[in-house]
């Protein structure tokens, strides 16, 4: 049982709280599912990029999947070894590519022919060789929210099979490129197994056809995307996930790379916010809280559901209310028509499943400092990010004021 009241007293609200023991358990479950096969877990840093969280996974033996050079730097700072760091993403700048090659990370996940050209050119300038993997878009509908679907041709991610093959041949013939892996990631919050193994099958076939022309890959990178329970979703068990993937790799000697984000962090996190007051507009009841869309964007961005737990002495009957923040946008809400008792000033709401794509998507909109973050481990709480204050927010502007 987490003592949210005490945490709110000590650290103030709004506040992010992460249960590291839960993250450890999720990591172990997934890692164990691939037992008996060479595998690397590469934690998807964007799901929760706090240095202490990345370090927690690094200490468990995890690598890191990064989507900007900033995330690569975080991974290094957190102690992830270079040979377990992957750099993915649909648009990488020359500077980012250069730094990734210089840092000698495991590989760069390339997402277009044009990008392959840039990587080759920069590796040549550095008189180096860049290990690469190519992100294949298997054109499979992952049956998830369109904003987090990435495996269809009308998404911007990856390249078609024919293009991928051509790119592998080109990379194999270049002295500056070393094609070592193949990658797919069809979407996030996946709850259906079928699109995953269909994609794996398509990609594994491409590995075989490359092997036939003497291009031998080492890494089969299955991306992330495992869904979690926010409400009453039926999710995929790690063991079933692993078996489905491994079933497509018969006869291939490949190290499986898995890039879980949400699966490891979502349900380890809580967003704690305080009730400011209630208000009624006609028939509509609102609970106004001190947290907002700049702290936790998922409800506004995806209309995502988050369970809300109430900490109050109120024993009134439940009625429907919208839980809204102070930001000047009608889209600033955490829940709509949620059953809540009558709430008092300073009652607490705990927004569940906030550990993934929570803090990281935060902003300073409305000149609001971002929340503090606290980690819980072995029954102890420790601050892992200070609350931003006004001085932090204006630091890069105030000396430029003329
Ligand atoms: C976002 C992302 C992940 C992690 O996705 P989750 O749904 O959080 O598991 C993994 N790999 C790549 C390439 C990504 O872009």
Tokens of 98: 């250069």
CA-259 nearest atom, ligand 1: 10
So where are the chain's domains? 4-15+267-390, 34-260
**End-to-end C-alpha distance for the chain, whole angstroms:** 52
pLDDT at position 147 is 67
CA-190 nearest atom, ligand 1: 7
Least confident of 40-54, 134-148, 237-251: 134-148
For the beta carbon of residue 301, count every other beta carbon within 10 angstroms: 15
Residues labelled as active-site residues: 328
Nearest CA to ligand 1 atom 10: 224
**Distance from the CA of 373 to the center of ligand 1, in angstroms?**
22
CATH fold label, 34-260: TIM Barrel (3.20.20)
One fold for 4-15+267-390 and 34-260: no
Least confident of 194-198, 209-213, 364-368: 194-198
CA 163 remoteness from chain centre: 27
**Distance from the CA of 351 to the center of ligand 1, in angstroms?**
22
**Distance from the CA of 262 to the center of ligand 1, in angstroms?**
8
Q: How far apart are CA 194 and CA 97, in angstroms?
A: 34
Q: Using a 6 Å CB cutoff, which residues line ligand 1?
A: 44, 46-47, 65, 67, 88, 185, 188, 223-226, 259-263, 356
CA-109 nearest atom, ligand 1: 13
pLDDT tens string 198-255: 999 999 999 999 999 999 999 999 999 999 999 999 999 999 999 999 999 999 999 9
Q: How far apart are CA 212 and CA 60, in angstroms?
A: 37
Contact (CB, 8 A) for 39 and 348:
no
**Distance from the CA of 158 to the center of ligand 1, in angstroms?**
13
Q: pTM of this prediction?
A: 0.96
Q: How far apart are CA 102 and CA 323, in angstroms?
A: 48
Buried/exposed 205-223: b ≥16 CB within 10 Å, e otherwise: ebbeebeeeebebbbbbbb
**In Å, how far are 5, 15, 23, 93 from 379, measured between CA atoms?**
15, 18, 14, 43
Say whether 302 counts as a known binding-site residue: yes
pLDDT at position 314 is 86
Say whether 241 counts as a known binding-site residue: no
For the beta carbon of residue 112, count every other beta carbon within 10 angstroms: 18
Contact (CB, 8 A) for 64 and 54:
yes
Report the pLDDT averaged over residues 189-197.
Answer: 93
- Residue range 4-15+267-390 forms a domain whose CATH class is mainly beta
């Amino acid at each position: 049982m987490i003592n949210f009241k005490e945490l709110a007293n000590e650290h103030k609200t709004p506040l992010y709280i992460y249960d590291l023991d839960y993250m450890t358990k999720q990591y172990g479950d997934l890692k164990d599912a691939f037992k008996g096969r060479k595998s690397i877990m590469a934690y998807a840093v964007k799901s929760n990029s706090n240095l202490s969280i990345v370090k927690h996974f690094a200490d468990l033996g995890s690598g890191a999947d990064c989507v900007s050079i900033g995330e690569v730097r975080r991974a290094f700072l957190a102690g992830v070894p270079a040979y377990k760091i992957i750099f993915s993403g649909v648009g990488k700048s020359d500077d980012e590519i250069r730094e990734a090659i210089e840092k000698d990370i495991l590989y760069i996940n390339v997402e277009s022919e044009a990008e392959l050209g840039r990587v080759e050119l920069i590796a040549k300038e550095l008189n180096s060789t860049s290990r690469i993997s190519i992100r294949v878009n298997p054109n499979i509908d992952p049956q998830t929210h369109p904003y987090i679907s990435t495996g269809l041709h009308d998404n911007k991610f990856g390249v078609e099979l024919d293009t991928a093959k051509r790119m592998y041949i080109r990379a194999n013939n270049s002295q500056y490129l070393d094609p070592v892996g193949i990658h797919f990631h069809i979407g996030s919050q996946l709850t259906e197994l079928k699109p995953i193994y269909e994609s794996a099958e398509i990609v594994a076939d491409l590995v075989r056809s490359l092997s036939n022309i003497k291009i031998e890959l080492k890494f089969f990178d299955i991306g992330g995307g495992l869904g979690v329970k926010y409400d009453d979703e039926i999710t995929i068990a790690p063991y079933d996930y692993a078996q489905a993937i491994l079933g497509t790799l018969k006869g291939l000697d490949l190290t499986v790379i898995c890039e879980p984000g949400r699966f490891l962090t979502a349900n380890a996190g809580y967003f704690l916010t305080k009730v400011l007051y209630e208000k009624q507009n006609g028939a509509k009841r609102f609970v106004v809280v001190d947290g907002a869309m700049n702290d936790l964007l998922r409800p506004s961005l995806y209309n995502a559901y988050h369970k809300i737990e109430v900490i109050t002495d109120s024993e009134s009957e439940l009625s429907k209310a919208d839980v809204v923040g102070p930001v000047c946008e009608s889209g600033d809400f955490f829940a709509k028509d949620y059953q809540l008792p009558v709430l008092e000033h300073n009652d607490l709401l705990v927004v569940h499943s906030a550990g993934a794509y929570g803090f990281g998507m935060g902003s300073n909109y409305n000149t609001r400092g971002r929340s503090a973050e606290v980690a819980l481990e072995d029954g102890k709480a420790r601050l892992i990010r200070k609350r931003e204050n006004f001085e932090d927010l204006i630091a890069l502007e105030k000396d430029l004021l003329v």
